[in-house]
Structure 1
């Protein structure tokens, strides 16, 4: 069924790197979401009214909020597909994340409202009319929501969309919420206790939890979440397959929305190599890796001394000292400047994000440890942060 809908509704469905194809996936998800949620709202609102159940009515309005969420998702995909302009040179892809935040706001508002209504129902309970028709309607609702979860999960994985993944998670939480509502309807047939209000409160909490999760998932990329480790590994491995590139460091990934990833990296090349040949290699690597991974890669060329025995020996000494201090540290851009009275060791020290060291503290410690080995050398250390 899902594959049939994709084939029928999305032209060139396998070309998911195309922004227009992504927009069609978003439109399909939104269209199905609007249709299903409108039907579920109508059915649940009718069942809630006939049975007098606040839990069912709360669930109905949760589905109505999902209609708004689907509409926002559709608008978000449309706006995110706009090309770059002079005011937004990196495109409009992050609008998809902003729409996710708006969806989270809708969900949270519905949850807050039904916390209020459920507490009122607990304090002033009203009888619920139990019927098998109501129960059957809720069972159908759970099945529809489980299918929507599967549907949006498939779509989100195809285009790597955080907003569709959030929609899938929301559908699953809706199915769970409706399942809890079914329990309240069944329980009402056996007790006069205010089960409906209590279950309604549980549903409201589940709605709030779903809203918080959606907000967190869409806010992280806006604030700057770390890149996928698999992508980082893939970029480095591809770069190292090119002749002349003997090392990679200072790799940074900037995400401006799905399909709009900009990457910069420093490629280490032999200092005694032909500069024109190395430059041609760098250009080729930029072009081929960008095309293969659907991103924009810019490579800076760093010449590295590979044949000077003095430099290599001193570098090994520094690496051993650093490993003895903290194995999570690493260096790059190592250079040696030999003078008449002393030798300068110039290098960048990479400090992991989670490191306990401050830049000054670790620089002073490394300098002291190196001078304990050889007091004729001085260090010039630049502390880098590891952004991947």
Structure 2
């Protein structure tokens, strides 16, 4: 990802931060006025989400730093670490939502909230879902995993607001069990999303790589003119950038220049076919 692309991803992170600051203020204020604990809790949830969005923004900032003496491959993995932070915050929120739903069953509230608070929760959910769609589209466009994690967090917050709305309506009409039931389901969805983000980030940090994708890369290398055999091919992700190492065997009678040209052809094909701009091709003579 180049500097301009990182700047585009930063816009998504700033949008999330601004939205959370605005919504948390509105929800907490209206929740206090309308006597809705559900809306207040939703507002407090948005306050914690600011931390996750800031983590994503910091990760994007660090990822832009050029390679240095200690980071010869650059700082792209800062994005992956930001995704991990977002996942931890999301799963914390999810567990809190689940525990809150159990608490609501054990200690049901007798206070009837103002129906106005349900409308605030509903419009907050619509607004945050729009932020989710924007960040999701942007994350795919710029290929940013940390922004994708932020988008999933946006969607989780929209679901939390829907759960709050259902709970408020249930309490308003005397159907108290709707609140904990909706909250419990929403909590499960948030935890599931957080787990998927954590799993993907952990796989990237441990240099895992999709097997089918690696086979496609190997096929591209093998079909390059002059390549007789491909051995010891490996790939890993550095942030959103794939890095490939491979050993190719060529005719032993070729000159150094001819062998080097074949390696360059392999690298060019990897760049054009798979958008792999970091590859290390080692040449060996094929001896029968």
Match of 1:298 in 2: 280
CA displacement at 1:147 relative to structure 2? 1.0
More deviation in 292-301 or 142-151?
A: 292-301
CA displacement at 1:188 relative to structure 2? 2.0
Which protein has the bigger strand share?
Answer: 1
CA displacement at 1:95 relative to structure 2? 1.2
1:211-258 alpha-carbon deviations (Å, 9 max, x no partner) = 32322222221122214744652564256233x213333221122222
Match of 1:71 in 2: 54
More contact order relative to length (CA 8 Å, sep ≥ 6): 2
Q: Name the CA shift for 1:189/1:161 in 2 (closer, same or farther; >3 Å).
A: same
CA displacement at 1:33 relative to structure 2? 0.4
Q: Any idea what SS the aligned residue of 1:90 has?
A: coil
Native 8 Å contact 2:224 2:265 kept in 1: no
Alignment of structure 1 residues 267-278 onto 2, 5 Å: 267-271=248-252, 273-276=253-256, 278=258
1:48-107 alpha-carbon deviations (Å, 9 max, x no partner) = 333443333332222222211111111111111111222222221111111111122222
Q: Any idea what SS the aligned residue of 1:207 has?
A: helix
- Tell me how far apart the structure 2 counterparts of residues 248 and 302 of structure 1 sit (CA, whole Å): 10
- Tell me how far apart the structure 1 counterparts of residues 201 and 90 of structure 2 sit (CA, whole Å): 14
User: Which consecutive unaligned segments of at least 5 residues does structure 2 have?
Assistant: none
- Tell me how far apart the structure 1 counterparts of residues 211 and 168 of structure 2 sit (CA, whole Å): 45
Alignment of structure 1 residues 185-196 onto 2, 5 Å: 185-191=168-174, 193-196=176-179
Alignment of structure 1 residues 277-296 onto 2, 5 Å: 278-285=258-265, 288-289=268-269, 292=272, 293-296=275-278
Q: Any idea what SS the aligned residue of 1:255 has?
A: strand
- Tell me how far apart the structure 1 counterparts of residues 198 and 100 of structure 2 sit (CA, whole Å): 24
Q: Any idea what SS the aligned residue of 2:239 has?
A: coil
Q: Name the CA shift for 1:41/1:67 in 2 (closer, same or farther; >3 Å).
A: same
1:306-361 alpha-carbon deviations (Å, 9 max, x no partner) = xxxxxxxxxxxxxxxxxxxxxxxxxxxxx5xxxxxxxxxxxxxxxxxxxxxxxxxx
Q: Any idea what SS the aligned residue of 1:301 has?
A: strand
Q: Any idea what SS the aligned residue of 2:245 has?
A: strand
Q: Name the CA shift for 1:186/1:255 in 2 (closer, same or farther; >3 Å).
A: same
Q: CA RMSD in A?
A: 2.6
* Aligned length, in residue pairs: 286
Q: Name the CA shift for 1:258/1:217 in 2 (closer, same or farther; >3 Å).
A: same
Match of 2:229 among 231, 244, 247: 247
Greater radius of gyration (CA) = 1
Q: Name the CA shift for 1:116/1:52 in 2 (closer, same or farther; >3 Å).
A: farther
Q: Name the CA shift for 1:283/1:210 in 2 (closer, same or farther; >3 Å).
A: closer
Which protein has the bigger helix share?
Answer: 2
- Tell me how far apart the structure 2 counterparts of residues 108 and 217 of structure 1 sit (CA, whole Å): 15
- Tell me how far apart the structure 1 counterparts of residues 37 and 162 of structure 2 sit (CA, whole Å): 14
Native 8 Å contact 2:35 2:114 kept in 1: no
- Tell me how far apart the structure 1 counterparts of residues 263 and 141 of structure 2 sit (CA, whole Å): 30
CA displacement at 1:41 relative to structure 2? 1.3
Q: Any idea what SS the aligned residue of 1:121 has?
A: helix
Match of 1:170 in 2: 153
User: Which consecutive unaligned segments of at least 5 residues does structure 1 have?
Assistant: 1-16, 306-334, 336-388
Match of 2:183 among 195, 200, 219: 200
- Tell me how far apart the structure 1 counterparts of residues 258 and 130 of structure 2 sit (CA, whole Å): 53
- Tell me how far apart the structure 1 counterparts of residues 190 and 49 of structure 2 sit (CA, whole Å): 11
Alignment of structure 1 residues 42-81 onto 2, 5 Å: 42-81=25-64
Say whether 1:90 aligns with 2:66: no
Match of 1:8 in 2: none
Match of 1:123 in 2: 106
Q: Any idea what SS the aligned residue of 1:250 has?
A: strand
